[in-house]
Amino acid sequence: MPPPDRTSISSRVISDVRFTFLGTGTSAGIPAIGCDCAVCTSQDPRDRRLRTSSLLEFTDAKGQARAVLIDAGPDLREQALRHGMKRLDAILFTHNHVDHTWGLDEVRRFNAIQDGPIDVYADAHTDAHLRRVYTHIFDRDRNVNDSFVATLIGHRVEPGRAFTVHGLRVTPIPLLHGKLPVLGYRLEAEGGDEDERDSTRRAAESRGGRRSPRSATEAHGEELGIGGDAEEVGARARNASEAVGNDGKADAVGSGSGSSGGPLPLAYCTDVSAVPPESWGMLKGLETLVLDALRDRRHPTHLTVDQALGIAERVDARRTYFVHMSHDLGHAETMARLEASGHAARAGLAHDGLTLKASGNRGAGK
């Protein structure tokens, strides 16, 4: 399979960027089957976590709405219904594990809605896995019956080699998931160079664009569109989620930088245990870092909260959101702990349904 063709996409401007956390949980999901722990039985909706996946939506230079999915796990159907997804242009796969790939069959509905194929991007190892598991999709001529299956266009990507998707520049970032090489992705608008992005960010900070390290609950509450002490934040978030109902729309919207890109440049790094030396340069100048933080205890293939905080401090993104959390981490309790340690003004747990977009275009609840 050839690598993505960077010359095939002419769009160089994107707008109306929205990044939504469709799922933020570990491979078992939260609540875990048969578990009666405090987090699995929590009434806080932020403690209910589908398998980790995210959706980037934007408008391309021609005014066409676009949607790029990161990973397609076994909860994809539920995630699509909750969020009201009606379009899917591309899927970026980080690696081949079940909780990130076993929802691929669900995308056939988008083929039917759009009457067209969907681009799929993966490294060689994950591409081979997808073709083995989904033979009925990638080798459909061998199916006994001509049944309704997804129509996909596969692209093999290489670490560090950028490509574009409808004006979105995507750079695969090499990471380690234990002994397994996996990918993160840097997402940004096609066009401006690194110096321009750094200059814009420095200008925003000189105008006070970067928040001062104040109360963690206050800072995270602003991201949630709420405020108050830890107990009040939890109660109001629960009430907000209940008020939203089942329409799949996020009640919480993170602020952007004040620049046109909103949450971009953004790096998405789930299922990580280490960042190789060659990858740090790809994490410079970020507005948003999305990063693995499984639990407090050490794990051979995932970051602990403390390890994730260390990486977040070195990367120095304007805001860091942790994902792939286990039931060891309750949302309110963990955020209170991050507040007490002085970290929560710039780093905190994401939750299912949280949507980030430009500060000039906030969602409900603010």
The CATH number covering residue 339 comes to: 3.60.15.10
Q: Which of 131-140, 212-221, 235-244 has the highest mean pLDDT?
A: 131-140
Q: What is the pLDDT of residue 295?
A: 97
Name the band, by pLDDT with cuts 50, 70 and 90, for residue 13.
Answer: confident
Please say if the pLDDT value at position 11 is more than 60: no
Mean pLDDT of 144-156: 94
Please say if the pLDDT value at position 293 is more than 80: yes
Mean pLDDT of 290-296: 97
Mean pLDDT of 116-138: 97
In angstroms, the CA 365 to CA 253 distance is 8
Kindly state whether residue 315 falls inside one of the protein's structural domains: yes
Q: What is the pLDDT of residue 219?
A: 33
For residue 186, give the nearest of 116, 280, 324 by alpha carbon. 280
Name the band, by pLDDT with cuts 50, 70 and 90, for residue 146.
Answer: confident
Mean pLDDT of 177-199: 78
Q: What is the mean pLDDT of the chain?
A: 82
Kindly state whether residue 365 falls inside one of the protein's structural domains: no
Kindly state whether residue 366 falls inside one of the protein's structural domains: no
Q: How many residues does the chain have?
A: 366
Mean pLDDT of 97-107: 97
Q: What is the pLDDT of residue 230?
A: 35
Name the band, by pLDDT with cuts 50, 70 and 90, for residue 12.
Answer: low
Return the H-helix or E-strand segment holding 118. Answer: strand 118-122
Q: What is the token pair recorded at 293?
A: 């933080």
Spatial CB neighbours of 152, under 8 Å, sequence gap ≥ 6: 107, 117, 118, 119, 120, 137, 138
Which long-range contacts does 238-245 make (Cβ < 8 Å, 24+ apart)? 238/43, 238/44, 238/45, 240/365, 241/45, 241/46, 241/353, 242/45
Number of independent structural domains in the chain: 1
Cis peptide before 2 (omega within 30 of 0): no
In angstroms, the CA 264 to CA 285 distance is 10
The whole-model pTM stands at 0.79
Residue with tokens 């870092």: 289
Please say if the pLDDT value at position 254 is more than 70: no
Residues of the domain holding 18: 6-359
For residue 255, give the nearest of 325, 310, 294, 208 by alpha carbon. 208
Kindly state whether residue 299 falls inside one of the protein's structural domains: yes
Question: 219-245 pLDDT, tens per residue?
Answer: 333 332 222 333 333 343 333 333 323
Please say if the pLDDT value at position 59 is more than 50: yes
Tell me if 106 sits within 8 A of 138, measured CB to CB.
no
Three-state SS letters, 44-93: CHHHCECECEEEEEEECCCCCEEEEEECCCCCHHHHHHHHCCCCCCEEEC
Kindly state whether residue 1 falls inside one of the protein's structural domains: no
Please say if the pLDDT value at position 114 is more than 60: yes
Q: What is the pLDDT of residue 217?
A: 29
Name the band, by pLDDT with cuts 50, 70 and 90, for residue 53.
Answer: very high
Cα of 160 vs its chain's centroid, Å: 19
CA atoms 325, 329, 333, 338: torsion sign: negative
Q: Is 70 left (phi over 0), alpha (psi -120 to 50) or beta?
A: beta
Question: 323-349 pLDDT, tens per residue?
Answer: 999 999 999 999 999 999 999 899 999
Coil, helix or strand at residue 124: helix
Q: What is the pLDDT of residue 297?
A: 95
Percent above pLDDT 70 for the chain: 75
Name the band, by pLDDT with cuts 50, 70 and 90, for residue 205.
Answer: very low
